[in-house]
């Protein structure tokens, strides 16, 4: 890593309705997914172009498919998104496309058999290859890590590990309360560093850009922005990584306010980049040189 610069990386879990298809509240989030499809993705791409940010889009593989003319699925446009993927690929500022599994399956080894995990991820790789996309980054659905050896065998070089918080391994209710307390206290998100685990590089998250729906819609956007700015400053101080992540659906409850918050975060990052203190790059560029089977890129870490 360049000892004189910190790194800012942005990763996006792009899943539309697949992210909640197995949840009882799926129907309540359908409107948000519709807003995500209709508006949020294009506005995000506009921000990335404006601020010259190469982000990592981890895409549920089923979204690569074209919507069939006849289907029994309700709201099929929320399960197919080849048109949106094409827009991501055509962004004037090149975006990285990684995997978020094919069907948004939970991949922790205690719950997901090896055969199922391998078949699912292999299908995502196969669909991406039809688009001439060589995926190197994997983001686990719900951040439930498992089967790293399968990812390595299928050509992945890195993944996003859970944020290093005291509540990371606690049950869901404790995690949500811990996250809420950190926001209310405007606690500085951690700066992180890549580490090799199971032959693949873990690039942990630093901060979730908190969703704007449910009870969290009452959280002022400025609280999210303040924490992110503090995270950027902490990364600069330590010359490490600030890793911001979110789902496009997270922005769909209050699109203008949430996009405005991202603009303020990106503006701070751009200023730090202009001053020579920060580099902005996608996750795959954080993999140490030589970790790819064929090395064709310059990376932030050597």
87 alpha-carbon distance from chain centroid? 17
pLDDT tens for 191-207 read: 999 999 989 999 999 99
Q: Is residue 296 part of a domain?
A: no
pLDDT score of 212:
87
Pairing of strands 56-59, 278-280: unpaired
Residues 5, 288, 112, 115, Cα dihedral to 10°? 150
pLDDT score of 26:
77
Q: Is residue 291 part of a domain?
A: no
Q: Is residue 274 part of a domain?
A: yes
Q: Is residue 1 part of a domain?
A: no
pLDDT at 27 over 90: no
Contact 203, 194 (CB under 8 A): yes
Q: Is residue 295 part of a domain?
A: no
User: Which of the 8 DSSP states describes residue 294?
Assistant: S
pLDDT at 294 over 60: no
Q: Is residue 301 part of a domain?
A: no
pLDDT at 112 over 90: yes
pLDDT score of 85:
97
Overall number of domains in the chain: 1
| pLDDT confidence band for 296 (50 / 70 / 90) | very low
pLDDT at 295 over 50: no
Q: What percent of the chain has pLDDT over 70?
A: 94
Contact 102, 124 (CB under 8 A): yes
Mean pLDDT of 4-23: 92
The per-residue b/e assignment along 7-35, b for 16 or more CB within 10 angstroms, e otherwise, is bbbbbbbbbbbbbbbeeeeeeebeebbbb
pLDDT score of 25:
75
Q: What percent of the chain has pLDDT over 90?
A: 74
pLDDT score of 181:
80
Contact 144, 107 (CB under 8 A): yes
The CATH number given to whatever domain includes residue 178 is 3.20.20.370
Q: Which residues, other chains included, contact 192 with Cβ-Cβ below 8 Å and sequence gap of 6+?
A: 164, 203, 204, 205, 206, 240, 241, 242, 243
pLDDT score of 219:
87
Pairing of strands 195-197, 200-202: antiparallel
pLDDT tens for 250-293 read: 999 999 999 999 999 999 999 999 999 999 999 999 998 766 54
Q: Which residues pair with 201 in a beta bridge?
A: 158, 196
**Boundaries of domain holding 38:** 6-286
Q: Is residue 68 part of a domain?
A: yes
pLDDT score of 171:
75
Q: From CA 54, how far away is CA 11, in angstroms rounded? A: 10
Q: Is residue 302 part of a domain?
A: no
Q: For all residues of the chain together, what is the average pLDDT?
A: 90
pLDDT tens for 176-232 read: 777 778 777 778 999 999 999 989 999 999 999 999 887 778 889 999 999 999 999
pLDDT at 2 over 60: no
Contact 109, 138 (CB under 8 A): no
Higher pLDDT, 132 or 184: 132
Higher pLDDT, 36 or 178: 36
pLDDT tens for 64-101 read: 999 987 687 888 999 999 999 999 999 999 999 999 99
Q: From CA 210, how far away is CA 58, in angstroms rounded? A: 18
């Amino acid at each position: 890593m360049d000892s004189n610069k910190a790194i800012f990386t942005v990763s996006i879990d792009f899943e539309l309705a697949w992210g909640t298809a197995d949840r009882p509240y799926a129907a309540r989030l359908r409107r948000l997914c519709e807003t995500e499809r209709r508006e949020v993705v294009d506005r995000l791409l506009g921000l990335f172009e404006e601020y010259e940010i190469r982000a990592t889009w981890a895409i549920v593989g089923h979204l690569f498919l074209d919507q069939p003319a006849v289907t029994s699925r309700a709201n099929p446009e929320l399960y197919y998104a080849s048109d949106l993927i094409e827009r991501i690929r055509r962004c004037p500022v090149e975006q990285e496309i990684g995997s978020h599994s094919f069907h948004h399956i939970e991949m922790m080894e205690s719950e997901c058999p090896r055969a199922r995990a391998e078949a699912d991820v292999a299908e995502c790789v196969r669909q991406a290859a039809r688009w001439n996309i060589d995926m190197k980054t994997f983001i686990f659905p719900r951040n439930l890590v498992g089967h790293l050896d399968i990812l390595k065998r299928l050509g992945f070089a890195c993944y996003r590990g859970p944020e290093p918080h005291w509540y990371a391994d606690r049950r869901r209710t404790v995690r949500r309360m811990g996250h809420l307390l950190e926001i209310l206290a405007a606690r500085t998100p951690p700066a992180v560093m890549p580490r090799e685990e199971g032959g693949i590089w873990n690039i942990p998250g630093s901060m979730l850009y908190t969703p704007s729906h449910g009870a969290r819609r009452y959280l002022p956007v400025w609280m999210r922005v303040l924490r992110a700015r503090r995270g950027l400053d902490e990364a600069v101080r330590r010359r490490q990584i600030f890793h911001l992540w979110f789902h496009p659906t997270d922005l769909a409850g209050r699109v203008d306010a949430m996009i405005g918050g991202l603009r303020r975060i990106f503006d701070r990052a751009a200023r730090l980049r202009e001053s020579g203190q920060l580099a902005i790059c996608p996750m795959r560029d954080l993999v140490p040189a030589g970790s790819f089977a064929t090395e064709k890129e310059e990376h932030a870490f050597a």
